[in-house]
Amino acid sequence: MPFCTQCGREVANSAAFCGNCGARQASAANPAAGPAASHIPPGPPHDPLAGLSPRTAAILCYIPTVGWIASVIVLASRKFKGDQNVRFHAFQGLYLFAIWLLLEWAGPIMDAGSDHFIRADHILKLIVFGVSIFMIVKASHEETYVLPIIGELAKRSATE
């Protein structure tokens, strides 16, 4: 009598699954298949972005400070490879994050030696944050709003 390839318990010769753990067993017709054959997934791998709508993907690209992760995932995915609108939002979200990152790095240099209570880099970061929220609202209404300068870059990048 054969044993389960997963838990080691005895299974019937013709059993397709283990009665104890439920693991798929090597078929009785092909005993040479062995334990390795029982771990072959049936069919193509599951797409992790299968349930993600284009609207949701576009919204995720504009989340302040972490939207760049969604943008990179969207641009790398096969699902949105042909969707120019979602790719546009992904590129525009990346460029918006790049502006925020530049402000983060250049902020202390911009206000070095300043005695002002309100620093210029903080105001600019607040503006970038507001633009991100504005773009989330536009993307949630499925509107394509082209921001000045970075929007044109995003258009060109999305079409390439």
pLDDT tens sequence for the chain (160 residues): 678 877 878 888 788 888 888 888 875 444 444 454 455 555 566 777 778 899 999 999 999 989 999 999 999 998 899 899 999 999 999 999 999 999 988 877 766 666 667 777 888 899 999 999 999 999 999 999 999 999 999 999 998 8
108 lies in some domain: yes
Query: Domain check: are 3 and 66 in the same one?
Result: no
Tokens 């972490």 found at: 66
Residue 117 lies in a domain: yes
CB half-sphere exposure, 150, CA atoms < 13 A: 18
Q: What is the pLDDT of residue 30?
A: 46
Nearest to 68 by CA among 97, 39, 40: 97
Residue 25 within any structural domain of the chain: yes
> What pLDDT is stored for residue 28 in this prediction?
46
Instruction: Please check whether residue 48 lies inside any domain of the structure.
Output: no
Cα R_g (the chain), whole angstroms = 26
The reply to whether 61 and 94 lie within a common domain is yes
**Range(s) of the domain holding residue 91:** 54-159
What's the predicted TM-score (pTM) here? 0.66
Count CB neighbours of 42 within 10 A: 5
Residues 150 and 120 in one domain: yes
Question: How many structural domains compose the chain?
Answer: 2
**Whether residue 113 is found in the same domain as residue 134:** yes
Paired residues of 24 in beta bridges:
17
Q: Are residues 135 and 66 in the same domain?
A: yes
